[in-house]
């Protein structure tokens, strides 16, 4: 083990730093950064003379690009270079490796606008839900809503976990995407917070945090390879922001429709507004990916192969999960005695979720109408 550096050694080492010695000598001449021309070979300065003008909404990321902030490059940097800045050549470059460092992998034409919207529409689960106006529900309905809240709490954790690890894996050239993901993770965090608060706000509590029911998918041999999905931003985003959050958005809409108290409706409306942004990025990113990847035909086939496993397994885990179906049927039927009517409503939801998914696939130029493995008729 090396000996600990003493405070005296630290002091002496710092005093030997050339720029600190210069200051002590009284030489206060600043570095080349103060006068260098943008793009100068020294790498002392990046850009100059850009004056972004605020729009009616304020100074947006779009205003910066309009004014001359360089747009995202096709290839990211293998360093900590910041877009628009230079890299000072007098120091050795510190190499960085990013798993997602190409524009076609991460970009979506709406990502800047979605980030701006996310920031301007942040809300507080503490004070923006009128909790004091919650009214008691019959026990079966309260229990059903609490079960749904418990299930959704787990789903929100999953979304944040799957995307969170990508914050460090996307290159600095795509700061807008990193900012959007940061905002999305804040949204998911607030969602799990609000579901938790709802479960404890009206005399109920948390239900059971069961694991996803993947048995059907396993029987069909349709278990997706989670390791390979998590290691690839395209697969990960398709799984989370295209399939899962699309299904979840429809489930939130359904829950909002079923809720009997004004407060619960407000809660789901707030959540849906956030969730729609996540799905919107997921769809536009996939569109950009397919339109700009090096080999569209090959990528489309790879994506079809992934969709063949994910559609069924994720629908089973989220939409056909008894943790969601049973309490939804109780709420839709007005209680256990009306569950047959409740399942009738859930069958309609199933058809709607499938159609919305196929429509989203059409929108991004990835038609699944001939290949979709979700049966058109509800399998229940
Ligand atoms: Fe969410
Ligand atoms: Fe989400």
* Domains identified in the chain and CATH numbers: 103-363 (1.10.620.20)
The per-residue pLDDT for 134 is 97
Cα-to-centroid distance, 255 and ligand 2 (Å) = 16
CB 272 within 8 Å of CB 250: no
Cα-to-centroid distance, 219 and ligand 1 (Å) = 29
Closest ligand, as measured to the CA of 252: 1
The per-residue pLDDT for 224 is 73
Cα-to-centroid distance, 358 and ligand 1 (Å) = 21
Cα-to-centroid distance, 67 and ligand 2 (Å) = 32
Residue with tokens 């069924």: 312
The per-residue pLDDT for 121 is 97
CB 52 within 8 Å of CB 67: yes
The per-residue pLDDT for 140 is 97
Cα-to-centroid distance, 160 and ligand 1 (Å) = 8
The per-residue pLDDT for 185 is 98
The per-residue pLDDT for 317 is 85
The per-residue pLDDT for 103 is 98
Q: Across-strand partners of 75?
A: 102
- Give pLDDT tens digits along the chain (380 positions): 678 999 999 999 999 999 999 999 999 999 999 999 998 999 999 999 999 999 999 999 999 999 999 999 999 999 999 999 999 888 888 899 999 999 999 999 999 999 999 999 999 999 999 999 999 999 999 999 999 999 999 999 999 999 999 999 999 999 999 999 999 999 999 999 999 999 999 999 999 876 655 555 565 666 678 888 889 999 999 999 999 999 999 999 999 999 999 999 999 999 999 999 999 999 999 999 999 999 999 999 999 999 998 898 888 888 998 889 999 999 999 999 999 999 999 999 999 999 999 999 999 999 999 999 999 999 99
Cα-to-centroid distance, 346 and ligand 2 (Å) = 22
The per-residue pLDDT for 93 is 85
Closest to 191 in 3D by CA, of 279, 252, 110, 101: 252
> Phi/psi of residue 255, each to 5°?
-65, -40
CB 278 within 8 Å of CB 241: yes
The per-residue pLDDT for 209 is 79
Q: Across-strand partners of 55?
A: 58
CB 142 within 8 Å of CB 204: yes
Closest ligand, as measured to the CA of 241: 2
Closest to 275 in 3D by CA, of 86, 114, 99, 51: 114
> Which residues have a beta carbon within 5 Å of ligand 1, which is an ion?
156, 188, 191
The per-residue pLDDT for 211 is 63
The per-residue pLDDT for 316 is 85
* Maximum distance among all Cα pairs of the chain, rounded to whole angstroms: 88
Cα-to-centroid distance, 25 and ligand 2 (Å) = 57
> pTM of the entire structure?
0.94
Cα-to-centroid distance, 160 and ligand 2 (Å) = 8
> Which residues have a beta carbon within 5 Å of ligand 2, which is an ion?
159, 245, 275, 278
Closest ligand, as measured to the CA of 153: 1
Residue with tokens 């859930």: 346
Closest ligand, as measured to the CA of 191: 1
Cα-to-centroid distance, 274 and ligand 2 (Å) = 7
Q: Residue 144 burial by CB count (10 A; 0-12/13-18/19+): exposed, middle or buried?
A: buried
Give the N- to C-terminal CA distance of the chain in Å, as an integer.
Answer: 65
Cα-to-centroid distance, 184 and ligand 1 (Å) = 8
Cα-to-centroid distance, 189 and ligand 1 (Å) = 8
Cα-to-centroid distance, 288 and ligand 1 (Å) = 23
């Amino acid at each position: 083990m090396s000996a600990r550096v003493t405070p005296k050694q630290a002091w002496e080492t710092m005093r030997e730093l050339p720029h600190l010695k210069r200051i002590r000598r009284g030489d206060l001449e600043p570095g080349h950064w103060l006068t260098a021309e943008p793009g100068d070979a020294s790498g002392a300065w990046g850009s100059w003379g850009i004056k972004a003008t605020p729009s009616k909404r304020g100074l947006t990321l779009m205003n910066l690009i309009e004014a001359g902030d360089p747009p995202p490059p096709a290839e990211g940097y293998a360093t900590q270079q910041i877009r628009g800045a230079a890299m000072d050549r007098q120091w050795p470059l510190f190499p960085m490796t990013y798993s997602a460092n190409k524009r076609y992998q991460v970009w979506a034409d709406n990502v800047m606008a979605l980030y701006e919207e996310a920031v301007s529409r942040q809300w507080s689960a503490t004070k923006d839900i009128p909790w004091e106006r919650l009214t008691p529900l019959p026990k079966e309905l309260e229990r059903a809503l609490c079960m749904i809240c418990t299930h959704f709490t787990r789903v929100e954790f999953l979304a944040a976990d799957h995307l969170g690890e990508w914050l460090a894996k996307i290159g600095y050239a795509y700061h807008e995407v990193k900012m959007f993901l940061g905002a999305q993770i804040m949204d998911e965090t607030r969602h799990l917070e609000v579901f938790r608060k709802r479960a404890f706000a009206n005399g109920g509590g948390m239900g059971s945090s069961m694991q996803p029911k993947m048995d059907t998918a396993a029987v069909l041999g349709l278990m997706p390879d989670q390791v390979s999905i998590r290691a690839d931003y395209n697969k990960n985003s398709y799984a989370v922001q295209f399939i899962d959050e699309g299904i979840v958005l429809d489930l939130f809409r359904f829950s909002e429709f079923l809720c009997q108290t004004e407060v619960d409706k407000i809660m789901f409306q707030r959540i849906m507004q956030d969730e729609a942004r996540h799905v919107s990025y997921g769809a536009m990113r996939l569109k950009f990916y397919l339109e700009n990847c090096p080999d569209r035909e090959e990528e489309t086939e790879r994506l079809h192969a992934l969709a063949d496993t994910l559609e069924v397994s994720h629908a089973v885990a989220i939409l056909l999960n008894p943790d969601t179906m049973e309490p939804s049927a109780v709420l839709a039927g007005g209680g256990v005695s009306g569950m047959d009517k409740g399942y009738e409503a859930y069958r309609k939801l199933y058809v709607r979720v499938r159609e919305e998914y196929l429509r989203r696939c059409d929108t991004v130029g990835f038609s699944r109408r001939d290949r979709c493995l979700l049966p058109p008729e509800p399998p229940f």
